[in-house]
């Protein structure tokens, strides 16, 4: 299991002895390379059979009010990081002729709601990339699975709401 928060990984591994924790920030290419090398060593060069791309962040706010910096951060995790992890672990799957990549997009990859346009855009993009990879990788025996859960009660929403800027850009929207 890989995650950015080492303490949560350790807790998971403590309750599930079969889990081997791997620290991974999917926005850091060196961390991705390190995780791939670590896993390659632990699997005697075989790599993984399944990769589940479930990392994600949620940035809320009207599209007009979300800065370019926050928009880039949204895409960095929800799209670019996911694709980078996929690229890192895909070649051995393709070479073996089997494997599975599971991308967690969410229902917001199908439609956008007010205040979540940037988040939805990142998930729409992940859906499109997944659709293309599904066709591209089929001849190599690698399956792409797209999971689209609905709203799930997690800390993701509380963190996103707490990160909303209190600036003039949101003013016109707060009344609605």
Structure letter (DSSP) for residue 6: H
Active-site residue, 119 included: yes
User: Per 3-state DSSP, what percentage of the chain is helix, strand, and coil (rounded to 5)?
Assistant: 55, 10, 35
Structure letter (DSSP) for residue 49: S
- The position carrying tokens 């599971």 is 102
Residue-by-residue DSSP string for 108-131:
GGT---TT-HHHHHHHHHHHHHHH
* Catalytic hit among 119, 126, 130, 137: 119
Distance (Å, whole) CA 84 – CA 28: 9
Cα 57 to the center of its chain, rounded Å:
8
* Residues forming the active site: 119
């Amino acid at each position: 299991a890989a995650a950015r928060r080492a303490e949560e990984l350790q807790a998971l591994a403590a309750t599930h002895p079969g889990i081997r924790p791997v620290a991974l920030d999917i926005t850091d290419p060196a961390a991705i390379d390190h995780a791939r090398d670590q896993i390659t060593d632990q699997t005697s060069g075989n790599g993984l059979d399944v990769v589940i791309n479930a990392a994600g962040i949620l940035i809320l706010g009207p599209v007009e009010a979300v800065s370019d910096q926050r928009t880039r951060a949204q895409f960095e995790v929800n799209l670019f990081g996911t694709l980078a992890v996929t690229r890192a672990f895909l070649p051995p799957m393709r070479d073996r002729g089997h494997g599975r990549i599971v991308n967690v997009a969410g229902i917001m990859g199908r439609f956008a709601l007010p205040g979540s346009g940037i988040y939805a855009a990142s998930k729409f993009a992940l859906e499109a990339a997944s659709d293309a990879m599904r066709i591209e990788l089929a001849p190599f025996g690698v399956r792409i699975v797209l999971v689209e859960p609905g709203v799930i009660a997690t800390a993701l929403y509380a963190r996103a709401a707490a990160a909303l800027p209190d600036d003039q850009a949101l003013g016109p929207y707060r009344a609605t």
